[in-house]
A and B are shown apart, each in its own frame.
Chain A
Amino acid sequence: MKTGFEHDREGTRRPPILRQAQALNYILTNKKPLIRTNSMLAGTTTSRDVGVMIYPEGHGITLWPELKTIATRKIQPYDIDEHTRELLDKKVFPFWSDRNVREYARAANNSPRYQELDEKFVLYFMWKTVALSHTVPDFPRILKHGLLPVIEDAERRKNTVDDERQKTFYSATEIALRGILHYADHLREEALRLMAKAQKNGPAEHYKRFADMLERVPASGARTLYEAVQSLWILWIALHNESTNAGLSLGHLDLWLQPYFESDMQGLKTDREREDYVKQTIELIGNFFFKCQDHVPLVADIGNKLFGGSSSDQAITLGGVDKNGSSAVNDMTYIFLKVTEMLTIRDPNMNARYYPGINSDDYLRRLVEVNMVTSATPSIHNDKAMIQSLKSIQFKEEDARQWCATGCVEPTIPGKHFGHTNSMMFNMVAALEMSLNNGVHPLAEEQIGIKTGSIEEDAFPTFEDFFHAFERQLRFLAYQTIDCNNSFGFAHQVIRPTPTLSSMFEGPMEKAKDLTEGGAVYNTSGVACIGLTDIVDSLMTIKKLVYDEKKTDFKTLHKAVDNNFEDYIKLHTLIQNKVAKFGSDTPEVNRLAQRVVDTVFDIFYNRTNYRGGHYLVGFWSMSNHVAFGTLSGALPSGRLRYKPFTPGLTPENVKGVDLLSSIRTIAGLKPEKMPNNIAFNVKVAPDSRDTHEETVDQITAYAKSYFELGGMQMQFNIVTTETLKDAMENPDNYRNLLVRVSGYNAYFVELDKDLQLEIVNRQQMRV
């Protein structure tokens, strides 16, 4: 299979990884070096202060239809000038029309059925059409030693291997990393130029600092915290220019930066100096946060529908334990929390680890307090449950302890684990719909699944028979996604190898193997399973009303579902009131939920991806619970047609489901069957009569109890329904109102209307 660029302009054969390295080197070498007067960090992701990244070999071309209207569309408009538009329409997009991941895979596999199903957009969404990304590099190593040792290592290895392919790999690494050094050099020259132009004392000093730092980093190791952050920022720019930025994450930054903080502090003599230093550090980290927002991921209008309001989800992880199991909470943890609290911005996506018994109560209370002040962030993870979960599926304990949140909530072992933790959003409800309709998907109106029996022909004498049919549809659909993901994975190996990222991992350098080819130590793929609540509530209805109590028959229920419960008000009311729901902590419902989780875990875990790793399931949804929901029919759970599914792993806001029951329910699910993590959203509205302290105490008690009961992750939306309603009517007053959608943060007013309504209606627990 040809990509159409096997050769360079001179006609010399050129392997993909070399092409990627040369492209990155070219971009970084020719990139305009920008240093802003008021910024503490040099360099920008794009060639402007703030820009949109377009990767035509990924999903960039989806923007094509909108080139004329993009500046005026409702959600996330982008300014675009005539020159850029012409360039994209006439040169860039036509060139990449056949050379992007989606089209390469289609042609290579002769338009496979699984890709056709992918493009129905209602069954699953494959993230590899956009990006692979979704991992955390080994930043501590590069920050400590710089890029030069990596380049030297590549050179040395290149000279010791005979294999041409291996030689190419090392050359590519070297070329890519040299591009980064060029860029840093150009930034340094720019700093010197600005310094010469500026007046003495003020700005000149500012630029001199940059020039001094850039002389050292990222080529060599950082000596101070400032150098470390500047180095990190340049590496971050480089990674974003190598490949699409979707969920590429920054890692355990408090733990990683603390040594620099400590060594800086040691050099300070007076309390006054130390106090000033802490203030400067807060400002520096604040600057870094803002810098992380200097680019916007490209989202076509169709993407806004599917992933409303999501930014690129650059996750930062705080706290928890270090690789020896001791508490990792330190000075930098609190500095990051302070910055989070002060800025209230959606990206970076803050994730805090809390290890019950090892991390202090004060720390947890502080997390809750920041969550309250920002109304949505950080999300809080149970370190113990997560480490246990990872240990149970092949990860070494020492590695598991180093896990970092990636993208939304998913765990990655930094620098060892290429886990594409969001390889797909999997609509489990579609499988349920197909099991109700003998394999026909009601919206697609065609036979998509296998024939598992018709309700009208009494194919299911017992509930077990029906569950079996559901399981078969689930397996069928899962295998389609797995084939699809693998085909896109192979396309990435040809279209978008990642030499820069690979050089920041353990494994690729030793094996001379790119990350996309399985160079890392751990090579899993992550799945986000959507609709667990809807499935459990539907199955429970069927079990209870049709089989156990025989209050209705399956044909009637099926007809009611097909008719969106119109003319079936009594049955609908019965379902809502007399069937125990997921989240009510009813043993029978809990068992059923665990059974569905186990089933989907087994289906995926037992399959191998294109890099030789397992598929790991998690239960969170970004905003796809809305997108998939608006494309799906009514369900036996009583959910009406086109209504959103429930987000992440959050019980439906219904009778019998109170906050404590839902906390107990979610905490009761086994973490080892949900290794790709969960998103449990709890919207709490504080009582206006309570003091700040009281509210923080109450919410801390919820969180602490949940974690003691074994819950994995929890995120609070602390806001009143009135506030949200008012924000829908007066968006201008609420530009900064942050809400957690499912695993990520978004500005409420930028969300699609359906999603806004869903959040307003989401379970509101009175505190």
Chain B
Amino acid sequence: MKNDAKNSFFTNPLVLQNIMYVLLRVMSLKFTFSKKFREMIKNDYNTFNKTIAIQTRDKAVKLYMVFHDGKMKVRHGIPEKADLTIIYKSPEIIKEFATLSPEDMLNYLLTNKLTFRGNLSYLSRFAYLLNNFIPPKTDKKTETNTSAKAVPGK
């Protein structure tokens, strides 16, 4: 299984690294061009100035994002200091990155497909950014009649 996967084009670490890079670059462009999107990392209340790294466990894929003053830069390699490092178990998992729905991000923690170092809040935030960048999958929708209102408790 693993050998097959390694031989496949889309799980080749180098290919994945580049696909990821391009994807994140597009994301960073969206921060530049979309005011609404940019406001998610820079607004009246808060500016998100943090570094998030993405790796596979074997470090075959490694890149990172630097968020600063409403901009996001993408870099190859491992940053000196990351506020959050997202570690994927294997390239097979990272392949799903582009189609990941946000709730899956945390659920992957459960099945050990994904681990992290650093701040879990940033992981949640990053998942939400992704969710706004790539529309969430719609197949999870079901009609329901038992919903409550969400309001901040404090």
Interface residues of A (CB under 8 A from B): 23, 27, 46-48, 50-57, 60-74, 76-80, 84, 87-98, 100, 102-103, 106, 111, 116, 119-122, 240-241, 295-296, 298, 300-302, 305-306, 443-445, 627, 631, 735, 750
Contacts and interface: CB of A to CB of B under 8 A. Distances in A.
Contacts of B39: 90
A-B interface, 3 closest residue pairs, ranked by CB to CB distance from nearest: A65-B127, A65-B102, A53-B153
Interface of B: 39-40, 43-46, 48, 101-103, 105-107, 109-112, 115-122, 124-125, 127-128, 131-132, 136, 140-142, 144, 146-154
B147 A69 contact: no
A72 B141 contact: yes
10 contacts: A64-B124, A64-B125, A65-B102, A73-B140, A90-B43, A90-B45, A121-B110, A122-B112, A241-B153, A300-B103
A102 B120 contact: yes
Nearest to A78: B150
Contact of A50 (B122, B132, B136, B149): B149
B110 A54 contact: no
B116 to A, nearest CB: 7
B121 A98 contact: yes
A460 B140 CA distance: 49
A68 B153 CA distance: 19
B107 A301 contact: yes
A69 B120 contact: no
Contacts of B140: 69, 72-74
Nearest to A627: B110
A89 B132 CA distance: 12
Contact of B149 (A79, A87, A106): A79
Nearest to B132: A68
A80 B151 CA distance: 8
Contacts of A301: 103, 106-107
Contacts of A69: 101-103, 131, 136, 140
B153 A55 contact: yes
B119 A51 contact: no
Contacts of B119: 97-98, 103, 106
Chain A interface SS verdict (over half): mixed
Q: Which of the listed residues B116, B122, B153 has the most CB atoms from chain A within 10 Å of its own CB?
A: B153
A79 B120 CA distance: 25
A369 to B, nearest CB: 29
B102 A66 contact: yes
A95 B132 CA distance: 20
Contacts of A95: 45-46
A733 to B, nearest CB: 14
A62 B109 CA distance: 13
Contacts of A66: 102-103
A256 B141 CA distance: 46
Given A65-B106, A106-B119, A121-B109, A52 B149 contact: yes
Contacts of A50: 148-149
A119 B109 CA distance: 8
A23 B154 contact: yes
Contacts of A119: 109, 115-116, 120
A74 B142 contact: yes
A300 B106 contact: yes
Given A52-B148, A66-B103, A301-B103, A103 B120 contact: yes
Contacts of A443: 111-112
A64 B107 contact: no
Contact of B40 (A57, A89, A120): A89
B117 A77 contact: no
Contacts of A84: 150-152
Nearest to B138: A72
A545 B91 CA distance: 41
A77 B144 contact: yes
A443 B43 CA distance: 41
A73 B152 contact: no
A90 B46 contact: yes
Nearest to B116: A119
Given A62-B124, A64-B124, A65-B124, A302 B115 contact: no
